[in-house]
Amino acid sequence: MQIKQAEVAFEIEKLKNEAELKRQLMQTEFDFNMQLRGISEDALQSRETQREDAKSERISQQNTQQSKLINQRKNNLPPMTFESNEDSLDGFDMAEFEPR
């Protein structure tokens, strides 16, 4: 009888330990998922901020160029070029890109 009680008590203890380990595993998994969600949210927020900043920069540049054009028309100035040095491919020879 005592042996049977000891076996039952051992089985109960074993199940309790197994349940505790599963709870800890689930908590760890939940924590990892929350961290991943946080990283994902931060990446989305960063990308949205970059888009807004780029849009703001384009609008600012457009407004500046419009002001220059208005000034040009008012003062009867020669045509302006708004192209930057980085927009031009001058100095490149297309022969450099042909196969040998």
**Domain count of the fold of the chain:** 1
Are the beta carbons of 48 and 31 closer than 8 angstroms?
A: no
Are the beta carbons of 83 and 94 closer than 8 angstroms?
A: no
> In angstroms, rounded to a whole number, what is the distance separating the alpha carbons of residues 23 and 5?
27
Provide the residue type at 34 as one letter: M
Rg of the chain's alpha carbons, rounded to an integer? 35
State which residues form the domain around 65.
2-77
pTM of the complete model: 0.52
In a domain, 54, yes or no: yes
> In angstroms, rounded to a whole number, what is the distance separating the alpha carbons of residues 59 and 67?
12
% of the chain with per-residue pLDDT over 90: 64
In a domain, 84, yes or no: no
In a domain, 59, yes or no: yes
In a domain, 90, yes or no: no
When comparing pLDDT for 88 and 96, which is higher?
96
In a domain, 46, yes or no: yes
Residue 98 pLDDT > 80, yes or no? no
State pLDDT tens for residues 62-95. 999 999 889 988 998 887 777 665 555 555 556 6
In a domain, 73, yes or no: yes
In a domain, 93, yes or no: no
